[in-house]
Every structure is written in C-alpha cells, then in structure tokens.
Amino acid sequence: MPTYHRADLLRRVVPAYLAQDPDELVVVLDGPQPGPRAYLGTVADPRLRVLELADNVGPARAREQGARLATAEIVFITDDDIVPGDGLVARHRDFHTGRTGAVLAGYVPIAGLPRQRPGQVSSRIFAADYERAMRRWDRDPGTVLDGLWGGNVSMERSLYLAAEDLRAPDRLRYFEDMDLGLRLRSLGATGHFDRAATGLHLHEKSNASFLREARARGAAVRAMEARWHFSPPTVHADDEPPVIARLRRLVAAGLRLRVVVPLAVLLLRGLLAAAGRLRLWGAEDLTARLLRGILETTAYVRAGR
C-alpha cells in the first residue's frame, strides 16, 4: 500500500485491513512524510511493516518496493483510499488456493455517490468510467488484463515482480495499472473479476486536480500507444456525448492557432464553476467532459511532437 501525505486516510484504512487477519501489511511511504510516519509508529501490531523511501518515486515504483519487502507468496495490491469490505482479504487469499498465474481484480465502487454538490463532478465522472469498465469485465472477464483498474488486485508475488521487471523506465503519470495488466498478460497471466471481493473507494479530487489529471491522461495515452500499439479502452467513453469525439478532432486542428484552445479552456473553466454553483449537474458533467477532452487531446498532440 503506497501512500503520500494522507495520514487521515491511513487512520481509517490501516486498522480495517489489520482486522481482516492478513499475514502482513506493508505500507510504503513514497518519500519522507512525518505525519503518516508518526501515525504508523503508534500502531502496535507486528504484522505492520513500514518502508519509507528517500524520494518520491510515484505509486508504481513504491508498490514494487513494498512487494520486494513482503514475504507472503500472494500479494494483495491496494491503495490508501480503499476501505476493505467484509472478508475481502480472505476472498483474495482463497481464490489463489490451487491456482498459478492468476490475477484477481475485485470491485471498488466510490463511496457516497451520487454526490450532488458543487466540486464533486470528478467523482461522478470517475464512477461512470469505472462502472463501464466493470460491465465490460462482467461480459468478458478475459478483458481484465487489457484494461486493469488497480486498488483491489491480487496475484502471486513472483508473478508481480516478474511483471515489474518488464516495466519501462519512464514514469507513467496515468494508466499505470493498465500498463501493469498488459505486462502481466505478456507473461501469460490470466485475469479474473469478482464483484463480491468488494472495497470502498474514498475518492476525492478537486476540479483543479481533475483538469491536471486530464493532461496526464493525454500524455499517457501517447506513451501507451508507443509501448503497446493500442489506445487504452478507458479513454474514449462509450457514454460520452458524440460532440466530444468531434471536439477532439477540432482541438487537434485548433492547436495550430495558438490562441483558440487556451481561450476555450478559460471559457469552459468558468462555465464549470458556474454550473456547479447553480447546481446544474448535467451541465457541470458535460462541461467537465468537454474540458477533459480538450486537455487530453492537447497533451496527446504535444507529447507526440
């Protein structure tokens, strides 16, 4: 479990996992973090192991370091904002009995939806994207590793470390879980989905963070295409309005006119804030998706230059 300056989440999540009788719980501080370190120092449980990294290396590399410290044969990979549902650890443990080369992904709905209040549009859109992916897994569990969502995933430790040995040196700012899934698939692993293996995602993201993330997504799409020669299935949402697909093409063309895209972003950011204040949730969602489409496409085009 990697963490980065979120002691408040650790106070809720760490006791919940320890209550599920894990063999061990490895928490990786992704860089020096006095607050989380101080809290973890108060947890008197020999199963808790804490690794503090000297530098912030990102969640993917932090997870890898945690897995190398772990001693159990099966690793359950989670995040500091995932609260385990009843029996989650046991369900993952039992699944792997008698199996090799298998990856189990559980279900992690977002807590507290629908959130009909200003500033929560990111969680609504994230939830829509996530639930669409889960329906895809329901229809065809064989697609789990093609579009892996992390936070509730388990596999043999040796398999995970073998996949990490294949990781490209460049850091992905988004789609790192999907990249892991494709590396696992290249090793011959099989993906499985269990909706009953449930956690709860304490998703919180400001509008500003949501828009920064959109830029990271666009650049990551370009990197994923270069690595794997296909576009991530979560990028072009089936339930997004057709206008967004047309918008992406217009943005790609409009980048030649340097002033057009910045003005459009400025206008839409104002509309996003206004729609939230006026509690026009449909307009807020559409505006956020339009903004995400513009910023993703801009970052995608620029990453290819």
Model confidence pLDDT, tens digit, residues 249-283:
666 556 555 667 788 888 889 999 999 999 999 99
Provide φ and ψ at 224, rounded to 5°: -65, -40
Q: Please state the rounded mean pLDDT for residues 106-121.
A: 84
Q: Please state the rounded mean pLDDT for residues 286-292.
A: 88
| pLDDT, position 258 | 64
Q: What is the mean pLDDT of the chain?
A: 89
Whole-model pTM over 0.75: yes
Phi-psi region of 171 (alpha: psi -120 to 50; beta: other; left: phi over 0): beta
Write down which residue in 154, 181, 205 finishes a domain. Answer: 205
The residue among 61, 25, 84, 34 whose CA lies nearest residue 202 is 84
Quick one: 157 and 188 in the same domain?
A: yes
Q: Please state the rounded mean pLDDT for residues 69-77.
A: 96
Quick one: 22 and 162 in the same domain?
A: yes
pLDDT surpasses 80 at 207: yes
Quick one: 20 and 125 in the same domain?
A: yes
**Could you tell me the residue range of the domain that residue 20 belongs to?**
2-205
| pLDDT, position 238 | 52
Kindly write down the DSSP assignment for every residue of 152-207, as one continuous string: EEEEEHHHHHHHHTT--SSPPSS-HHHHHHHHHHHTT-EEEEEEEEEEEE-----H
Quick one: 7 and 99 in the same domain?
A: yes
